[in-house]
């Protein structure tokens, strides 16, 4: 019979502890914020993965009818081009892992690395969809100059910040922002989604609408 002799009692104790430790059958994964850029920004993949730019045209009817006009010059067609930048992320397997997968029937290479790479790619797109990238001359949803902006009015307390405003004043700010999109697009587009920082959202949830039992967040969600 073979017997292992440990000349280090502390090392032997560590071995015993590790053998008696209970191993949870479930792997606990770190949670990350939800990726929702595809719900807020239209994504078009028709150009293909190797295209260098996207060219598109806009057609605009301008001018007005006039008496005795016999020539129509009221239609403008404009051409626009947007460059495409390449970004990527990768993962790999060692030769040992591939060899072991070939030797053992039914053993497949784990898909966790591919899933992790895909998630990192989605996080990259999520961040750039909102803020763009100045190094690539790309703007995002929050800093694009073509997005309609509305300046909050000064409240009774002398500030434009929601921290010093009443529920009615905050609700007016939100409604002005929504109708600002409608007016800025000449009544063509109507905003249907409101994105709020956590602090402002908490403020809406904690401030009550006068003469009601509801808070400002409930009021805006309902009306």
Q: Give 45-61 pLDDT, tens digit per residue.
A: 888 888 888 888 877 76
Can you give the residue range of the structural domain that contains 62? 49-83
Domain-located, residue 126 = no
pLDDT score recorded for residue 13: 54
The total number of structural domains that make up the chain: 2
Residues of the chain whose pLDDT is less than 70? 1-27, 61-76, 105-108
- Identify the domain boundary among 83, 109, 133: 83
pLDDT score recorded for residue 216: 92
Domain-located, residue 58 = yes
What is the distance between the alpha carbons of residues 196 and 170, in angstroms, rounded to a whole number? 12
Q: What are 158's two structure tokens?
A: 């002398």
Domain-located, residue 134 = no
pLDDT score recorded for residue 33: 85
- Identify the domain boundary among 25, 59, 83: 83
Domain-located, residue 16 = no
Domain-located, residue 24 = no
pLDDT score recorded for residue 70: 55
pLDDT score recorded for residue 2: 54
What is the Cβ-side half-sphere exposure of residue 200, based on CA atoms within 13 angstroms?
12
pLDDT score recorded for residue 81: 81
Domain-located, residue 5 = no
């Amino acid at each position: 019979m073979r017997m292992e002799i440990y000349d280090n009692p502390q090392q032997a104790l560590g071995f015993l502890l590790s053998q008696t430790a209970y191993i949870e059958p479930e792997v606990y994964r770190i949670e990350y914020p939800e990726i929702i850029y595809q719900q807020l920004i239209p994504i078009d993949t028709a150009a293909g993965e190797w295209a260098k730019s996207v060219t598109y045209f806009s057609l605009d009817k301008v001018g007005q009818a006039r008496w005795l006009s016999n020539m129509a010059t009221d239609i403008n067609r404009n051409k626009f081009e947007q460059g495409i930048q390449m970004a990527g992320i990768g993962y790999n397997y060692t030769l040992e892992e591939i060899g072991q997968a070939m030797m053992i029937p039914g053993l497949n290479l784990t898909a966790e690395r591919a899933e992790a790479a895909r998630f990192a790619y989605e996080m990259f797109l999520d961040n750039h969809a909102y803020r763009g990238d100045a190094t690539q001359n790309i703007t995002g949803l929050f800093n694009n100059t073509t997005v309609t902006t509305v300046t909050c009015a000064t409240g009774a307390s002398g500030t434009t910040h929601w921290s010093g405003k009443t529920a009615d004043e905050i609700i007016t700010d939100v409604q002005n922002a929504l109708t600002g999109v409608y007016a800025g697009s000449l009544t063509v587009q109507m905003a249907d989604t409101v994105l709020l920082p956590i602090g402002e959202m908490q403020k809406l949830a904690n401030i009550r609408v006068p003469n009601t039992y509801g808070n400002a967040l409930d009021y805006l969600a309902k009306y």
